[in-house]
Structure 1
Amino acid sequence: MCYEKRFELALDKTLEIFGESESVNLNLDNRYISEKPLFALFKKVYESAKSRGIKLAGNCTTIHWNTVDELSRALNCKAYFTVGYVVDAGHEYFKFTYEDVQEWLRSGQSSKKVMLHAWLTLDSMEIVDFTLGPTIADVRPDQKHLEKAIIALSPEEQDEGFHYIPMIVKDDFLMRIQAYG
């Protein structure tokens, strides 16, 4: 299944669970990812996090939630805070279910670490992820070269070997489950 269809399913599930979802206008004919503004923003994000003593590794929600508007401005498009998991060579990383989401809504997550991943989806269905590379480098010493890696994928670049599974598209999701703020 292509990323666009996965994203649309995530919007439907977000609406079902929360009674509302983001208003999304797709621009599938556009491609916004451009090396220069993306690297400039990544450098800014990296330096800002470093100055505050925050690692990019393991902080996908904080980093992406705080950069969604800045990425939109830098690339002149709409970006959406997206929560889900990643599939790489058949391994599902940070996987959770909609039942988990329902439990998080009931119990809150202020005292627990939630198992999920967050990234930014552009209205072109391109993905920008500032934290997966650093997170992999943090837990796998043989992957240190990913410490300052950005993942920026067009929908066509995702395949069965490596792809993102969006589950929730909601800018206030973290507040709703009491995991942020």
Structure 2
Amino acid sequence: MYKTEFIEAVKRSSRLGLTAPDVGSCDSASFLQKTNPTELAEVIQQEMGLLTEGEIVGQCLSLHYRLKQVFSDFFDCPVFYTIGYVEFKNSTMFKQTEESLAEMLKTGIEGEVNLHAWLTLPSMEVLDFSLPTSYAKVNNIPQGIGSAIANHADQLKANGMIYKPLIVGEDFLLKSKIVRLF
């Protein structure tokens, strides 16, 4: 269950010496049922303009960092910057462990990094505006360019996709020195 893993990710963030956000009591009411995918795209476009493929592919850390406050304002609730990995059918993308994340914090990050970030709403719904386009680009699936994931994390399992949160909050970006990459 995503909520259990999310709460563990908040605790892990603290164990790693990171400032973890106060997630309080998570709201079970769906935020996404109150809107439609077109509205989400319009919010992004109003804030950032029409994003190019290059501004999306492989840009999950910076893209979701920039969108966190935008969607917090839009939904009028806290939105949680979430770092982790994704299991999809028979593969795992961006897999890290607590130990590998601790090492990144200790030594810093230079160059490219094998991390993934998305936004989590208090309802445990996931907003991921980069993975579908990145996946489509790498796998030459043109119809996937510009897609997004906006669904309750547990409902994604039916499609063979499992989001695995490891860290919650943006503090990792600063303390690992990755923030200088964007």
Q: What is the TM-score of this pair, normalised by structure 2?
A: 0.88
Aligned to 2:41: 39
Which amino acid is 2:142 matched to?
K
Alignment root-mean-square deviation, CA: 1.9
Q: CA deviation at 1:54?
A: 4.5
Any conservation in 2 of the 1:94–1:115 contact (CA below 8 Å)? yes
Does residue 74 of structure 2 align to residue 89 of structure 1? no
Any conservation in 1 of the 2:128–2:149 contact (CA below 8 Å)? yes
Aligned to 1:107: 107
Q: CA deviation at 1:145?
A: 1.2
Aligned to 1:68: 68
Q: What is the TM-score of this pair, normalised by structure 1?
A: 0.89
Cα distance in 1 between the residues matched to 2:162 and 2:54? 27
- Superposed, 1:163-174 pairs within 5 Å as 163-174=162-173
Q: CA deviation at 1:27?
A: 3.5
Unaligned runs of 5+ in 2: none
Q: CA deviation at 1:45?
A: 6.1
Any conservation in 1 of the 2:19–2:171 contact (CA below 8 Å)? no
Identity of aligned residues (%): 27
Post-superposition Cα deviations, 1:32-89, rounded to whole Å, max 9, x if no partner, equal 1121431212434673543xx9420100001000110001111222101000001110
User: Which moves more between the two structures, 89-98 or 127-136?
Assistant: 89-98
Which amino acid is 1:62 matched to?
S
- Superposed, 1:1-181 pairs within 5 Å as 2-18=1-17, 20-33=19-32, 34-35=35-36, 36-44=38-46, 47=49, 49-50=51-52, 54-109=54-109, 111-141=110-140, 143-159=141-157, 161-181=160-180
Q: CA deviation at 1:97?
A: 1.2
Unaligned runs of 5+ in 1: none
